[in-house]
Amino acid sequence: MSTFLESLETAIQTYKAQLQQVELALGAGSDPSQQSDLIQLQEDLKQLIELTESSLVSVKKSKLLATLDTDAPSISPSGHLKQDNEATPKEDGEADGENESKYSE
């Protein structure tokens, strides 16, 4: 997944560089017939940057949540936290060491 993250980050850098070039062209007082195209391109690039940054944040959140899920303690069916080293409660009818010795006499 880190390759995907890197590609999103690279895309954002590319879009920002392109936006800078468009803004320079707009500031240079280019041909009026190109002005509207450049303004439209500027808006499109801003939107593309925003969407790509949003995707990057979503992917990072998903990755973080996946990491937290693997580190989180499990929850027993009764809703209580159960640590890995905690013994599971005995089911009804299972022999208990103390009760077993009482009946074996």
What domain count does the chain have? Answer: 1
* b/e code 48-77 from CB counts within 10 Å (16+ = b): bbeebeeebeeeeeeeeeeeeeeeeeeeee
Amino acid occupying residue 46: K
pLDDT tens-digit readout, 39-87: 999 999 999 999 999 999 999 999 999 999 887 666 656 666 655 555 5
In a domain, 17, yes or no: yes
Cα–Cα dist 105/102, whole Å: 6
The DSSP bridge partners found for residue 82 are 74
Domain that holds residue 6: 1-57
In a domain, 96, yes or no: no
pLDDT tens-digit readout, 14-25: 999 999 999 999
By percentage, how much of the chain surpasses pLDDT 90?
Answer: 53
Helix (H) or strand (E) holding 29: none
In a domain, 39, yes or no: yes
In a domain, 35, yes or no: yes
